[in-house]
Amino acid sequence: MTRLSVNINKIATLRNARGGNNPDVIKAAVDCERFGAQGITVHPRPDERHIRYADVLELAKVVKTEFNIEGYPDTRYLELVAKVKPAQATLVPDAPDVITSNAGWDTVKHASFLKEVISEVKKSGARVSLFVNPITAMAVGAAKAGADRIEMYTEPYAKGYAANREEAIKPYHACASAAKAVGLGVNAGHDLDLNNLKFLKQSIPFLDEVSIGHALICDALYFGLENTIQLYLRQLRD
């Protein structure tokens, strides 16, 4: 079964809007696991506008499933990963001022840089995933750089799903197949929801993990967090 990792950044965004500790990010992570999530994802950013670096340190004490820390591999991120030793480190090419991740690595152009940072991250024992656009050459480049997995950037799939889901999935199936052929695991994330998730899973049955935050937390406002996690897990069952 494809694993569901819940990105809790949006819970931290809500907390930060008023100050204090409501909602409690740490409790939310524990509850997500208790309700069936198989991983917790965070993406601390330099301005700490949602998840704070201090949150990551506290989460590391309580997360019992797979802890996935996303981020641009600058000095602060690398130091955090070395300290926390998460199950997975997902490297993204985000500039500090972007609202959310909106493009993957060019694993060919940045091969030398990626080899260096992947080697550094692996000293912590973390599995390394590279955030990439659904292009076969980027998957092959990720393997050459030493990554363990790719995470396919799925916003284009989500946008194209309503118009023609068969066309929208084609580059993702090709990229995932190329990754599998060179020995990489395959993750996916960004704009996945209850409408488009099942078809993605059916089309790429060997998908290892999806990381979902925004849509899942929005759905939780209507359905409740426990029920929402179960609804997402249902979409991922074989």
Q: Which candidate, 65, 43, 66, places its Cα nearest to that of 53?
A: 43
CA max distance for the chain:
48
Which one of the listed residues 33, 50, 66, 190 is annotated catalytic? 190
Which one of the listed residues 43, 50, 66, 209 is annotated catalytic? 43
* Catalytic residue flag (residue 190): yes
Sign (positive or negative) of CA dihedral 42, 35, 24, 102: positive
Q: Which candidate, 48, 52, 47, 90, places its Cα nearest to that of 71?
A: 90
* Catalytic residue flag (residue 173): no
Q: Name the phi and psi angles at 25, rounded to 5.
A: -65, -40
* Catalytic residue flag (residue 151): no
Which one of the listed residues 33, 66, 70, 151 is annotated catalytic? 70
Q: Which candidate, 54, 138, 39, 156, places its Cα nearest to that of 89?
A: 39
- The residues carrying an active-site annotation are 43, 70, 190
